Amino acid sequence: MGAQKFESIDLQGKVALVVGATSGIGWAVASALSGAGASVAVAGRRADRLAELAASLSGPVLPVELDVTDADSVEAAVAATVAEFGHLDVLINNAGVMYIGGVLGGDTAEWERMIRTNLLGNMLVVRAALPHLLSARGTIVQTSSTSGRLSTAGSGAYSATKAGVNAFSEALRQEVTGAGVRVVVIEPGYVTTELVDHITDPAMRAMAAEMQETMTTLQPGDVAAAVLFAVAQPQHVSVSELLIRPTDQLQ
Ligand code: NDP
């Protein structure tokens, strides 16, 4: 998706940190924020992807290696962003993994990785960035999922992490909204990204592939447009939740 689409939105002077920027939704959001004029720190584990993304952006950009399961790494990434750009206005808290499968015989290592990444990692990122976002009266965009609202067979552990993100985000919103910090929960349905590539359960892989073939799925840029809509609202307008599905997705 071209960044031109966002030229009507002006985020000049704003600084954003996009966590989970190396592919999919995060990559598209980082491109969109940069296209709208923001300075962008892009973070994730894959340094080669960060360099590739940084090279594709024309505005100020800082690639930062970051593993959200490591609290020190999270603190360092936030510090590097503020050291480079002076402040932090927008946090896109988007890192996530999805290993779907049944509860019976469920892979506990996968459950733990999802909880550490999607839920605890998300919380660590908020904790580290919050002082700067309070100073800037900034915006926190929390990537949840339709799975955070509607749990279905096979998605129990993943849904639990996203329901956790929703719960954490609402408490966070109540804590900081009086100080002018906006908390936006984005809940996408099926988006074509690398997320499903990591599913190990053969039946679940087949189900994901079938969904992909039988529906016109969202593209990362569709979600980026929703994120930009929320971020670009006037300061007194807080878009607390945005649920965005492919039109032909039932649940
Ligand atoms: P991708 O797999 O394309 O992107 C996932 C991103 O998360 C990558 O940038 C990855 O970077 C990053 N990430 C994963 N683990 C870590 C970690 N330990 N530390 C830092 N970064 C990490 O998938 P999506 O773009 O689809 O996913 C983005 C978010 O959107 C996730 O939270 C996902 O749950 C959510 N979502 C996705 C939907 C979909 O249908 N695709 C629907 C609803 C929500 P790297 O590997 O380089 O570290």
pTM above 0.85, yes or no: yes
Is residue 6 in some structural domain?
Answer: no
Ligand 1 center–CA 20 separation, angstroms: 6
Dist CA 197 CA 193 (whole Å): 8
Which numbered atom of ligand 1 lies nearest the CA of 95? 7
Among 154, 80, 167, smallest CA distance to 118 is for 167
Residue 230 inside a domain? The answer is yes
Domain of residue 83, residue span: 15-237
Residue 243 lies in a domain: no
Q: How many domains does the chain have?
A: 1
Instruction: Please return the burial class of 70, using the count of CB atoms within 10 Å of its CB with bins 0-12, 13-18 and 19+.
Output: middle
Q: Is the CB of 142 under 6 A from ligand 1?
A: no
Domain membership flag for residue 7: no
* Per-residue pLDDT reduced to its tens digit, 111-129: 999 999 999 999 999 999 9
> Which one from 6, 111, 158, 168 is the annotated catalytic residue?
158
Residues of the chain with pLDDT under 70: 1-7
CATH of the domain at 127: 3.40.50.720
Would you call 158 a catalytic residue per the annotation? yes
Has residue 246 been placed in a domain? no
Inside any domain, residue 124 = yes
